[in-house]
Amino acid sequence: MTGLISKLFSSPIFTWWNSATFGTRLFTSRKGVKVGEDSQGNVYYQEKNGHRRWVIYKNGPVEASRVPADWHGWLHYTVDVLPTEQTVETKPWEKEHQPNLTGTEKAYMPAGAVNAAQRAATTADYEAWRP
């Protein structure tokens, strides 16, 4: 019974961090107009009267860093023109958009960084503090 309850409360009906909730999907179907999609498959909507804008992420966690810069500007009313309707000049030094990878295996680890799981056992470089 406990497994059933935890599975029920981790479903998209109740959680927002896995995907859009039931309420968001209902609101989108009633009042939303699809205006575009980005390279990751995220779908962007706005209200029929144009007052609200939102995104429904394709797969994975709901994470704001998954929104590319051009769509971020549109979502936050920095620009009114859709990214699909304008050409954005990219500089030669710009890299392709990448979401925040902190906490994942693909997170950046600079040279000399110590990963506790891979650290060799030693006492030569560590002295415990004693009051």
Burial class (CB in 10 A: 0-12, 13-18, 19+), 59: exposed
pLDDT score recorded for residue 10: 54
Q: Which pTM value belongs to this model?
A: 0.65
pLDDT score recorded for residue 76: 94
Give the pLDDT means over successive 10-residue stretches in the chain (131 positions): 54 61 84 92 92 88 85 92 86 86 83 63 71 84
SS3 label, residue 65: helix
